[in-house]
Structure 1
Amino acid sequence: MAIIDRVKFDGLRSRDWIVFKHPADNLVVGTQLIVGEGQAAIFVKSGRVCDLFNAGTYTLSAVNLPILQSLVNIPFGGQTPFTAEIYYLNVVSNLDLQWGTSDPIQIIDPKYYTRLRVRAFGQMGLKLSDYSLFLKELIGVLGPNDIVKFNLIIDYFKGVLVQKLKAVIADIIINQKISALEISAKLDSISETAIERIKPEFSRYGLSIVNFFIKSINFPEEDFEQINEILKNRAEFEIMGDSRYVTKRSFDVYDHAASNESGVAGAFAAGGVGLGLGTAMGYKMQNTINTEAVLDSIKCTSCGISIAGGTKFCPECGASLAPKTCQCGVKLPAGAKFCPECGKKVD
């Protein structure tokens, strides 16, 4: 393998990389090492993290390779070749990492008692805090010219991230009894709680969380339709009042039952409505109908005053209001003077 006397990584145009393994592994004393701004270079020998270099230009010698010198006993009398792996690290914070819960969080809304499939989406920032600890988890996995990007790190931690977020969101909604419709006001406190729970998981690998935000917590439109129907019924209840709302719902149920192919009994059986409830609603409907019938007024055929429906005698003139029958058997309409069937005069 050719001896390399100059090591440099220009980096990528984007800043979404976190680790790059340089292909150089056969170096010489006197090799020039160039580390760019926002970078760090680490020498690794036999799986052990050795010397660290921050941004700058270095000529490799016994002065700046003390740990590596102790491992391989490099004679520095000339350009002596030696082997070592060089890893470039991106030490700049990446603040634009997107995350989301791929699987929905199944919960029962504590206010509307409907099943919801909640999802959360947000943004976070990561930064390398412990270079050696981070590299120890990657050594042996990367090959020459391999680049590790931040998105790969997010994918690696996605299981832990989603698990912690599910626990936090479910705790807020269920235990604190905050409806999913009202949870937007709690995004800041949820974010603060979530970052405290996931920090230890990232720090175990030498990563620190710079920021963490939950942008939205939402659920599918079809789940919202259930709550929308409840809100609509509640609005009717508040506007109409207790008794009128119950009466309206009674007519709605019976109207639905009448349109059901299996009839009223089948509709109640399918809806889980018991016989007692159906009977009670029947009595309530009958009373309502009777009340409306009483409120219908008629006129006396003798004096012409208005009288409540169902009255048998006029309270003004005493005339009988009962329907009459002609001798031919035909029922005569109120106020008739002659029989419309036989023409006989009505007494």
Structure 2
Amino acid sequence: MGIFSFLKGQFVEVIEWTEEEDGDSIVHRFPAYDNAIKMGAQLTVRESQAAIFVNEGQIADVFGPGRYELSTQNMPLLTALKSWKFAFNSPFKADVYFVKTTNITDQKWGTTNPVIMRDKEFGVVRARGFGNYSFKIKDPAIFMKEIFGTQKEFNPEQISGLFKTIIVSGLSDLLAESGIPIIELASHYDELSVRASERILHHFETIGLVLTGFIIENISLPEEVEQMIDRKSSMNIAGNLDSYMKYQTAESIREAANNPASGLAGAGAGLGAGMAMGQMMNQMISHPTPEPQVAAATPAPVVPAAAPSGAAPRFCSQCGAALEVNAKFCSGCGTKL
């Protein structure tokens, strides 16, 4: 074999990427031997891929799914960058990158630090949230220019930190503006997910991506706030002791039925005492005992002075009331004596 035949055998004639080779990678640099590609080489781009040719760090031609025979006709930008003349047929050097364009799913997000939000009932509280999202590369050239650069390989974990920052920032503003009470957040997860997706979508588009899904799985509250909610729930239950005691009665009967060894007699005795106490508490709440009132003092009756010793008692001739010794008017009817 001559030297020219050997060199000809080293030129790349088939360019393709089987994604199984790199696992979770979303960008793969084709391992060209000394970057020498034969003019007329076969380029295969699968349905889930795009191929980008880079000349000395500058993005040139981008190929979508299909099979191509490389020539100056289907590489216009690279032809212009290298100043090739028409019908150029010599091997050339270029970097070839394959980009995965399928949906990248099950990407996790979560709040590293609590999100501070204001609630009408509990005041300022700190909340944490987590969930998942999915995306795909919409514009391979922009993605490579803004994020990927010229690395050999690239996977979603390398930009997960950026995505989490974008998501948490958008979600924090959304929660602050929504005005939804914290005890009702769980019933608004779907609505908040849609609104958060719309809010952060443009951040993905600026780097050549599209956000295809966003889900809020949970928004958790501090332990002390959860305890306050539990106490409030307990107070609401105790507000209707009659319903509460009916519930307790049913629970006691069920437990006694599931535990025959304890006997229904003991359960009945405890149940009766519990019901009596519940009724007492219900009456106390519904009809509180009035505070004792101090009765107004009744003035003592006036007792006429006793007549001197040996003197006969005097009585009013008009009303018959007893008279004092030296009285000039009757204290009962006012008659002048």
1:22 aligns with 2:30: yes
Q: 2:100 aligns with which of 90, 95, 100?
A: 90
SS of the counterpart of 1:61? Answer: coil
State the AA in 1 paired with 2:103: S
| Cα distance between partner residues in 2 of 1:147 and 1:89 | 10
Structure 1 residues 242 and 165: CA distance shift in structure 2, 3 A: farther
In the alignment, is the contact (CA less than 8 A) between 2:36 and 2:93 conserved in 1?
A: yes
Which residue does the alignment assign to 1:50?
Answer: 60
Following superposition, the deviation at residue 190 of structure 1 comes to: 1.0
Which residue does the alignment assign to 2:196?
Answer: 194
Structure 1 residues 179 and 73: CA distance shift in structure 2, 3 A: same
In the alignment, is the contact (CA less than 8 A) between 1:117 and 1:223 conserved in 2?
A: no
State the AA in 1 paired with 2:205: S
Summarize the alignment of residues 162-177 of structure 1 with structure 2, pairs less than 5 Å apart. 162-172=168-178, 176=179
Which residue does the alignment assign to 2:261?
Answer: none
Following superposition, the deviation at residue 228 of structure 1 comes to: 1.2
| Cα distance between partner residues in 2 of 1:246 and 1:100 | 51
Structure 1 residues 78 and 171: CA distance shift in structure 2, 3 A: closer
**CA deviation digits over 1:187-213, x for unaligned, max 9?**
122112111110111111111111222
| Cα distance between partner residues in 2 of 1:208 and 1:179 | 31
SS of the counterpart of 1:73? Answer: coil
| Cα distance between partner residues in 2 of 1:117 and 1:14 | 41
Structure 1 residues 125 and 231: CA distance shift in structure 2, 3 A: same
| Cα distance between partner residues in 1 of 2:138 and 2:118 | 40
| Cα distance between partner residues in 1 of 2:13 and 2:129 | 50
Q: 1:131 aligns with which of 130, 140, 164?
A: 140
| Cα distance between partner residues in 2 of 1:120 and 1:77 | 60
| Cα distance between partner residues in 1 of 2:139 and 2:239 | 61
In the alignment, is the contact (CA less than 8 A) between 1:29 and 1:76 conserved in 2?
A: no
| Cα distance between partner residues in 1 of 2:130 and 2:85 | 56
| Cα distance between partner residues in 2 of 1:37 and 1:129 | 14
State the AA in 1 paired with 2:92: F
1:154 aligns with 2:156: no
Let me know the Cα RMSD of the aligned residues: 3.2
Structure 1 residues 82 and 218: CA distance shift in structure 2, 3 A: same
| Cα distance between partner residues in 1 of 2:41 and 2:206 | 34
In the alignment, is the contact (CA less than 8 A) between 2:16 and 2:44 conserved in 1?
A: yes
In the alignment, is the contact (CA less than 8 A) between 2:11 and 2:37 conserved in 1?
A: yes
State the AA in 2 paired with 1:17: S
Structure 1 residues 108 and 228: CA distance shift in structure 2, 3 A: farther
Following superposition, the deviation at residue 242 of structure 1 comes to: 11
| Cα distance between partner residues in 2 of 1:50 and 1:33 | 15
Which residue does the alignment assign to 1:106?
Answer: 116
Summarize the alignment of residues 1-347 of structure 1 with structure 2, pairs less than 5 Å apart. 3-12=11-20, 16-24=24-32, 25-74=35-84, 80-111=90-121, 113=122, 116-138=125-147, 141-143=149-151, 146-172=152-178, 176=179, 178-236=180-238, 239=241, 244=285, 288=291
**CA deviation digits over 1:237-262, x for unaligned, max 9?**
56568984998xxxxxxxxxxxxxxx
Structure 1 residues 138 and 194: CA distance shift in structure 2, 3 A: closer
In the alignment, is the contact (CA less than 8 A) between 1:236 and 1:245 conserved in 2?
A: no
In the alignment, is the contact (CA less than 8 A) between 2:57 and 2:150 conserved in 1?
A: no
Structure 1 residues 46 and 64: CA distance shift in structure 2, 3 A: same
Structure possessing the higher radius of gyration over alpha carbons? 2
| Cα distance between partner residues in 1 of 2:192 and 2:283 | 39
Gaps of 5+ in 2: 1-6, 242-280, 294-337
SS of the counterpart of 2:130? Answer: strand
Following superposition, the deviation at residue 122 of structure 1 comes to: 2.0
Following superposition, the deviation at residue 63 of structure 1 comes to: 2.1
Give aligned pairs, total. Answer: 245
SS of the counterpart of 1:217? Answer: strand
In the alignment, is the contact (CA less than 8 A) between 2:117 and 2:175 conserved in 1?
A: no
**CA deviation digits over 1:38-85, x for unaligned, max 9?**
111011113332112222332211222121111113357675222211
Following superposition, the deviation at residue 34 of structure 1 comes to: 2.2
